[in-house]
Structure 1
Amino acid sequence: MNSTIRTTRKTLTITALGVAAMMLAGCSAAAGAAPNDGAATSTSPAAELRLGYFANVTHAPAIVGLEEGLLEDALGDTELTTSVFNAGPAAIEALSAGAIDATYIGPNPSINTFIQSGGQSAHIVAGAATGGAALVVRDGIDSVDDLAGATLATPQLGNTQDVALRSWLADEGFETDTQGGGDVHITPTENAQTLTLFQQGELDGAWLPEPWVSRLIVDAGAHVLVDEAELWREGAFPTTVLLVRAEFLAEHPETVRALLEGHEASVAWLADNADEAAGVINAGIEAETGKPLADAVIDRALEHVVFSVDPHAETFADLVANGLEAGTQKDGSIDGLFDLRILNELREEAGEEPVSAGGLGEE
């Protein structure tokens, strides 16, 4: 780990309770922001980039980018401040309040903010990770039928795993609601608390991202009932994307370009340094949570995640349908959700193939 980077980076850990303070801090700036009405806007590098991410294996490009100094190197004179979240909806609250400028996040909260804002809030500028989510359950639950009356956890109401669970249960004929009622009871719970409650026998299972899937398996004796990869064509489904506030993207495209340079460098580092990846990711997780993952946990987690800048835009129509089915999302258009122009400019310069916006934005 680069100790200089660690000591100079400002980091905030954000919980559901703590996000309110960030919202208050950012509301005055956000409220005074002029809408993008098509008028010419002067652009310049930002003095500061406030970046959100989660201390999860599925956010490894962010963790590696910070631990190896790749993001700060790319940003140059722009100061990098980071905020750590537990789940997507809390990160979206901070982004919407103007308290952060960009965040690594799941696809469903990205969809939600775009629809609720009428396409004005934020844009996905790159993918980060695919795979690495599953429903894990206790002994005695061996089939779908065994879930009747069960209590299952997700990281937060409306987050990507929460939507996946509710949609899958509906497809299997179970009724659920956002208050925890129905045939299967869903209780959104912070990930670390989910592990504790599962160990105490208070939960029957959970639909989680890595490394929490592997923690429940290795540390608490759970087993996989549904690997989400089995539900998608060729097993490819987006777990993490890079989302940027629309106003920040319009005002500071040079800074977003630098962020994407660092992001691409992080994804490339993960591909080129497989033997070192677990140690670097674990160092970042320990720095934010106070405890490293067991070797068996992080090794298993990394076997189920693929890191890529492709956001798999072709899956987003299905994700919208899933959110509507789950009752956690408003109906609306996601046309314009993606802005992959800067990413594809960088890829063209590097002689790499462009990634597709799937007809849902600029590329």
Structure 2
Amino acid sequence: MNKKLILMSILLIGILVITGCGNKTTDTTADVKEITIGYFPNLTHAPGIVGVANGSFEKEFDGIKINVKTFPKGSLFMDAMATGQVDIGYVGPGPVLNRYLQGSKVKVLASASVAGNVVVGNGDSKISFPADLANKTIATPGFACSHDLLLRRFLWDNELKMEKRGGNIKHILQKPATMMGLFKQGQIDAAAVSEPWAAVMEEKIGAKILVNWDEMPWGGQMPATVIATTDEFTNNHPELVKKFLKVNEEAIDFIENNRAESLKLMQQEIKRITKQELAIDILDRALTRTKLTSAIDPQIIQEFANISGELGAIKGSTDITGLVDTSFLAEIE
């Protein structure tokens, strides 16, 4: 073999090593001993709850230890993912798009649920039309959280605004559990919440639905929960990403075809995490206002980001190009 041919062979081998023989990523799944999944004890996170409870994640990730962390709000989930405490999991779209626009290298891979968000009021509330919310006090769980952004879009669509935005609606931040006491005391008139909190409020304090899920912006198709991870995890472990998405699909199918068993699993898991037991009929009612699906519309997420930008929660560009990556989902469908 002449020197020229030897040199060409060495160069070819070098190129193949660098490019991974043509693959965009190098999967180091064989080296993974454990994976940490995150989710919230909310019904809109049902695929995650059921997937953990019925052993689907353990079965699919055979040989890999499954750790689970639960969170009360999206910012804490995103903090955990940023510091490597969580690899992949379920979170509302608001926190993940906000972090992406702040520079975090994160990905949204699919939806887990849409709808599941409503506006509730006292049982004797006289609020019948959006215009009736003028001069009222409305609560949301956090500033620029998914519920907050969805409510603001609803208000803007109906030519209403919060006081800080030049309108006449007072806005306060409260946890859903605290909202119930404020309703009883007459300190708030309405609240934007996700399930199962709306169903709980109906049961516990006689709350009524003022704006149902399908009356919310985008016809109720705004993702309530998405699957999020980091660029690093998708780059290093594409096969694990696909396994996770496969379990999400299986859990959605399981819930649809085994509703009674799924509701029982949700009840048990929510009780284990929160120390509170929700009646099966409450969970069942909440599930009727929640659509479980992996399908996601990036344009809705973009419009959601635009709202966050208008609020000032995001400084600079609100372009989320690159945030939503459905290529992994397409490979398992």
Q: Tell me the TM-score normalised to structure 2 length.
A: 0.84
Cα contact 2:309–2:318 (8 A) shared by 1: no
Instruction: Give the corresponding residue for 1:338.
Output: 324
1:133 to 2:121 alignment: no
Instruction: Give the corresponding residue for 2:182.
Output: 197
What is the CA–CA distance in structure 2 between the aligned matches of 1:141 and 1:171, rounded to whole Å? 17
Instruction: Give the corresponding residue for 1:159.
Output: 145
Instruction: Give the corresponding residue for 1:92.
Output: 78
Count of residues in Structure 1 that have an aligned counterpart in Structure 2: 307
Instruction: Give the corresponding residue for 1:277.
Output: 262
What is the CA–CA distance in structure 1 between the aligned matches of 2:83 and 2:191, rounded to whole Å? 30
Distance 1:323 1:227, change over 3 A: farther
1:47 to 2:29 alignment: no
One-letter code of the match for 1:345?
E
Runs of 5+ unmatched residues, structure 1: 1-37, 348-363
1:104 to 2:90 alignment: yes
- Higher-Rg member (1/2): 2
Match of 1:267 among 252, 255, 260: 252
1:63 to 2:54 alignment: no
Runs of 5+ unmatched residues, structure 2: 1-17
One-letter code of the match for 1:246?
D
Q: Say which is worse superposed, 188-197 or 242-251, in terms of deviation.
A: 188-197
Instruction: Give the corresponding residue for 2:304.
Output: 319
What is the CA–CA distance in structure 2 between the aligned matches of 1:233 and 1:169, rounded to whole Å? 13
One-letter code of the match for 1:141?
I
Distance 1:161 1:284, change over 3 A: same
Cα contact 1:51–1:80 (8 A) shared by 2: yes
Match of 1:226 among 190, 203, 211: 211
Q: CA deviation at 1:329?
A: 3.1
Which string of whole-angstrom CA distances, capped at 9 and with x for unpartnered residues, describes residues 79-134 of structure 1? 222221122222222222322112201112221111111xx521111210011111
Distance 1:306 1:79, change over 3 A: same
Cα contact 2:302–2:319 (8 A) shared by 1: no
Q: Say which is worse superposed, 324-333 or 156-165, in terms of deviation.
A: 324-333
Q: Say which is worse superposed, 338-347 or 189-198, in terms of deviation.
A: 189-198
Q: CA deviation at 1:218?
A: 2.0
What is the CA–CA distance in structure 1 between the aligned matches of 2:246 and 2:99, rounded to whole Å? 25
Cα contact 2:196–2:282 (8 A) shared by 1: yes
Instruction: Give the corresponding residue for 2:230.
Output: 245
Distance 1:311 1:93, change over 3 A: same
What is the CA–CA distance in structure 2 between the aligned matches of 1:292 and 1:78, rounded to whole Å? 31
One-letter code of the match for 1:59?
H
What is the CA–CA distance in structure 2 between the aligned matches of 1:42 and 1:140, rounded to whole Å? 60
What is the CA–CA distance in structure 2 between the aligned matches of 1:56 and 1:233, rounded to whole Å? 22
What is the CA–CA distance in structure 1 between the aligned matches of 2:286 and 2:329, rounded to whole Å? 27
Cα contact 2:131–2:160 (8 A) shared by 1: no
One-letter code of the match for 1:77?
G
Where 1:338 maps in the other structure, the secondary structure is coil
Instruction: Give the corresponding residue for 2:9.
Output: none
Where 2:48 maps in the other structure, the secondary structure is helix
What is the CA–CA distance in structure 1 between the aligned matches of 2:154 and 2:249, rounded to whole Å? 33
Say what the alpha-carbon RMSD is for the aligned residues. 2.3
Distance 1:224 1:326, change over 3 A: farther
One-letter code of the match for 2:284?
D
Match of 2:196 among 202, 208, 211: 211
Instruction: Give the corresponding residue for 2:314.
Output: 329
Which string of whole-angstrom CA distances, capped at 9 and with x for unpartnered residues, describes residues 40-91 of structure 1? 6643123222221111110000110011011121112222222211222222
